[in-house]
Structure 1
Amino acid sequence: MFGERLAAGLAATAGRVEQPPGPDGAHLVAYWNGRETEDLAGDGLSAGHTLLVAHSDIVFPAGTISRRPFTLAEDGDTVTGPGVFDMKGSLVAVELAMELLSRTGATPRRPVRLVPLGSSGGAGDTNLTGALGIPTVDGLGPAGADAHGEDEYASLSALLERAALIAAFLDTH
């Protein structure tokens, strides 16, 4: 499903991708080296790394995806379906950003760790890291609306713009 596809996409650019067990199934952790510090030791605690957190679950009842599958609208820009705005669009933007860096021969300035949790309960939200005093950037997901609603949608063109923004941020910060 989405987790396997995301892991495969991230593995194309990441130095390492792991799927450690969690209480509700496997999680995903992707590691990229940075220009200033090489760290693939796996401790995730080295100074100066960038931590990207997210959740990859969706909050819809079982069967919703079958009833409302991913759809590309006639305008060629609007995608609809459960989770396209919150949170899968953000994860795709990160995947595209890392591919953009790779294709242009760039490397993030600092080591990067992406940790999308399979079951969030709010744990993927950046308000938790901000509350701990950790410098936190939020709002890099796609443009769209109606998160968790029947009319949830996201814009593909905005997703590409956000991916470029994420790549530029990781290249310079």
Structure 2
Amino acid sequence: MRFLLELNQNKAYGQIPIIGPSGKIEYIIKGNLDNPNHTLYLSRTDHTEIGRLFADSSGIISSFIVDVVNHSLVRVKKFNTPMTNLFYVTRLNYLVTGSIKKGTYTFRAGVKNVANVKTIMGNSGVVLVCDIQRPEDIPFILLISILFTQWHVTPLKLPTFPPISRKTSPDIN
């Protein structure tokens, strides 16, 4: 199944539509991409939350957590070795190989490819092309791909979601 995530500056609504294999918007990623410490939310078009990605600051080495509905927490960890650029996804036991910096990488379970992600330049910005083999992996691959992209692409300036109302003000005078 192929999913397209178009990351551009054309519309700043605080969300990124994800186009599914049918050619229609199937999912939406909400949140701020300008800082890896912010939470990203993956939801259906009816705004039902499927999962979220956030930083785990409990340890010395920073890792990220993917929390998908009806699934245990999954961590994304980086192997810090000068010879390799490998990431490991716990619970799913996936290794992420390839070049995240160049935008082409593969999620592997042993020798089997689970998903391939390719970053291309579209007409209005960067497009992530995610080819995912199994439906149960969709939320994990989409959220982790956005995480990797924000590390190596100029950050998008999206508004805080939901917008803060002007009626409430911290000024007590």
Q: TM-score, normalised by structure 1?
A: 0.26
**Structure of higher CA gyration radius:** 2
| Structure with more contact order per residue of length (Cα contacts < 8 Å, sep ≥ 6) | 1
> Which structure is higher in strand share?
2
> Which structure is higher in helix share?
1
